[in-house]
Each structure stands twice: as C-alpha cells, then as structure tokens.
C-alpha cells in the first residue's frame, strides 16, 4: 500500500532515484495498489541526467507494492520488500528507456491486450487507461 508522503524507489533510468507520493487519486481510500497511476514529486535525483526536474509533478505507474501478501489464481503467493514505480510524462509516455527489476504479471492481466511495444503496453494495461 502506498499512502500520501510515502517515499518510493524508481525502477527505470529516467533520472530519478526516489520519489514522494503526492496524490493517489483513489477517492476516499487514499492508498494506491498495484497497477495504479499516482502523482509524484522528485525526492532525490541523479544529477547527471537533466530530464527530470525537482520541483515538478509527474505521473507514475506502481509496479511493485509492499502489500501484506497477494495471491494469484494458481495458489502462488507473492510479496515484495519495497515499493517501485515507473515514471511517466503528462501524455503517459515513459520517461526512461530501460526498466530495472521484475514487473508483476498482474499489470498485464488487467487488460487482455497484447499490442504495441513493451514500454507503451504497460501504460495501456494500467487501471483506467485502455
């Protein structure tokens, strides 16, 4: 679960190292789960890349979340040790070119489309955007 003011690790090479959650856009629940698109601000960035600015609000897709434990249909339980997001621009394009670490299958299971490249397909699989 990702709440407001949670510091989250970034899982791509967009230039940000850690971000802070500003808005979860889920109404009264105020917590983001897997496959949600949230608004973040930069907490710590890599100074060598000038793509990311520190006082600007960006969107991000939650790829891994530290939930209690989530299970799949075939009986496998999964749990991550940290929260990770992928950075997006305002038009929902990826800011990075490479994704580090694993991405859960639930992002692809939300919507059953298999078109486009891998980078653009994660955004279309995210909740609410098809």
Per-residue pLDDT of the chain (130 residues; tens, 9 = 90+): 889 999 999 998 888 999 999 998 777 778 888 888 899 999 998 877 667 888 899 999 888 888 767 777 788 887 788 899 989 888 888 888 888 887 777 776 654 433 334 455 555 555 444 3
* pTM, full prediction: 0.79
Beta strands 57-64 and 70-71, pairing class: unpaired
pLDDT at 99: 84
Pairwise CA distance, residues 39 & 4, whole Å = 10
Q: CA-CA distance, 64 to 55, in Å (whole number)?
A: 25
State the residue for tokens 């960035």: 45
53 near 42, Cβ under 8 Å?
yes
The top-level CATH class assigned to 7-125 is mainly beta
Residue 127 has a pLDDT of: 45
């Amino acid at each position: 679960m990702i709440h407001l003011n949670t510091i989250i690790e970034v899982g791509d090479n967009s230039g940000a190292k850690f971000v802070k959650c500003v808005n979860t856009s889920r109404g009264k629940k105020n917590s983001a789960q897997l496959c949600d698109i949230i608004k973040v601000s930069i907490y710590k960035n890599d100074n060598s890349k000038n793509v990311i600015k520190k006082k600007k609000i960006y969107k991000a897709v939650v790829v891994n979340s530290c939930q209690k434990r989530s299970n799949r249909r075939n009986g496998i339980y999964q749990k991550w040790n940290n929260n990770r997001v992928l950075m997006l621009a305002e038009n929902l394009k990826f800011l990075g070119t490479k994704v580090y670490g694993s991405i859960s299958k639930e992002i692809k299971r939300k919507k059953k489309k298999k078109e486009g490249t891998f980078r653009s397909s994660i955004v279309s699989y995210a909740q609410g955007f098809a």
